[in-house]
Amino acid sequence: MKTLLTIIISCLLIGTQPRKEIYDKGEFIFSVKIYDNEQEMKLRFFPVQYTGDNKEEFDNAWELTKDNLIDKNTVVYLGMEIMEGKINGNQKPYQYKYYNSEFEKIGMEATGMIENDSTIWLHPPRDRYFKILELNPFPEIQFDKENWQTTLEVGEHWGNERWKTWKGNIIINSDYSYNRDDGKVTAIANSELGITHLVTDFDKMNGLKKLDYTNIDGSRIVLELIEKRE
């Protein structure tokens, strides 16, 4: 009886322990796959330096092609490198790094995430072509909930003629569903522009393992974790 009581108490104590921090350091490397009508596309970033005065040119310095050519400008991997400090109040800063097949950096941006015992929330990659992801549900897990909703106001500067444009701000309402058994988060976002989706596979040890976006133009971006570098 004493042994059984000890086991029960131990289980209760384990259950109340804070969740292990996942995004404390290192760089998380994802493969990048893009599909249009189920055909895999190649994304290339043109070597244009952002100066602050050439925003439109820089935002459009990319192309999607159906060829199988992989060159030095083809985006093959995405790195998410954790940085020290805090930004935007209490967000943890990190960098997205865009790599070619030789792991040469061909693009970079910095942003922030929230990670605590109840929530993981982060910005998607949004450099050049990836600005399309601003219209999708953001990656988010609320560990104490099975279902939740979010609202985001998105300005017209996130638009592009190659997917959607609009005037002023639009409201995006996202509905999330979290299955604790398999770690899958399914989300759908609605706005006046249409519907987008995000299916996320989450692991308590490795974090976000796979992010499968269905975009406003029907294309898909699939990011899959392949490595963590300390």
pLDDT averaged per 10 residues in sequence order, the chain, 230 residues: 47 47 95 96 90 82 93 98 90 97 96 94 97 98 96 97 96 97 97 98 94 98 96
- pLDDT at position 11 is 45
Is residue 8 in a domain? no
Is residue 131 in a domain? yes
Is residue 4 in a domain? no
**How many helices and strands in the chain, by DSSP H and E?**
2, 14
Distance CA 121, CA 143 (A): 11
Is residue 110 in a domain? yes
Is residue 1 in a domain? no
Is residue 3 in a domain? no
Q: Count how many domains the chain has.
A: 1
CATH number of the structural domain spanning residue 123? 2.40.360
**Domain containing residue 123:** 19-229
Is residue 9 in a domain? no
Please choose, from the candidates 22, 23, 19, the residue with its C-alpha nearest in 3D space to the C-alpha of residue 93.
Answer: 23
Q: Is the dihedral of CA 198, 94, 129, 67 positive or negative?
A: negative
